[in-house]
Amino acid sequence: MPSDPPPSAAANGAPGVQKLPPNGADGGTFRTLGGSPGGSEVLLMLLADARLPTGAHTQSAGLEPAMRHGVSLAEVPSYMRTRLRTVVAVEAGAAVVARHLAAGSAGGPGTPPVREPAAVARDLEGRLRDVDEAWRARTVSPALRENAEVLGRGYTRLVTGLWPDATACVALRAVRRPTRAVAIGVAGALAGLDGAQVARLIGYDDAQTVAAAALKLDPLDPVVATGWVVGVAGDIERMASAVASLTTVEQIPAIAAPLIEQWAQQHAVARQRLFRA
């Protein structure tokens, strides 16, 4: 029978027992999963997994109130595309900017720290707060802002649990009620993702959330719902390309979706609902 690896091998990240490194312990630099080739891709898949403990299972991406107001299953692909061009583009833009700021504060592997990590964290906290406020200013609905805080809390708990010592996590924890866009942006930086990958992650997550919710709201063949996501892949890519290079809060898109926001408000006070939002 194969024997367990010795403690020293486990501590060094032997196969099957690899641990995420204590990022930020060396002055604010960050590393991806064990520094191994393909680590970023693994973490990208992890962050796109609906089974993450972030509360995503409570979401319909607004589909439940939309269907209550007359959106049919045949119109769901169009609904996905509308979201990708509006509220999703805004959230993705904010996440890309947050990723840029968090990655810049970390410097990169092997880069000697210029300032004390505490000072870097304080500076990044303020910058992340600016991103958070910019996203809020572009999101009229209080219900959507509150829901983003709930999801942000879940992602913050996840990110700070995986990289507890990272300078970016210290800054993220200091932001009061960070929204999901900011938390995912920090996660993307620590995972070694680029701006396009972060934007695709948010676009895919939104489309997949809509498809999964449809299966519960008006059951249909799951293959059809999966086909919807495949069908909007080009839209996800166009959205990601449009925001992938953003670096400042001023560049975050400001695109409104009045009906989606109105439905979110009505759904927040509905007596009977399957999903939180």
Q: Report the predicted TM-score, pTM, of the whole model to 2 decimal places.
A: 0.83
Domain count, the chain: 1
In-domain check, residue 13: no
In-domain check, residue 34: no
In-domain check, residue 238: yes
In-domain check, residue 19: no
Task: Provide the residue-wise pLDDT of the chain in tens; the chain has 277 residues.
Answer: 444 444 444 334 333 333 344 433 333 334 444 345 566 888 888 888 878 777 667 888 899 999 999 999 999 999 999 999 999 999 999 999 999 999 987 544 444 455 688 899 999 999 999 999 999 999 999 999 999 999 999 999 999 999 998 999 999 999 999 999 999 999 999 999 999 999 999 999 999 999 999 999 999 999 999 999 999 999 999 999 999 999 999 999 999 899 999 988 888 887 887 776 6
CATH at residue 153: 1.10.4190.10
SS3 per-residue string spanning 160-188: HHHCCCCHHHHHHHHCCCCCHHHHHHHHH
In-domain check, residue 37: no
Both structure tokens of 220: 């249909």
- Structural domain for 119, as ranges: 42-268
Spatial separation of the C-alpha atoms in residues 228 and 25, rounded to whole Å: 44
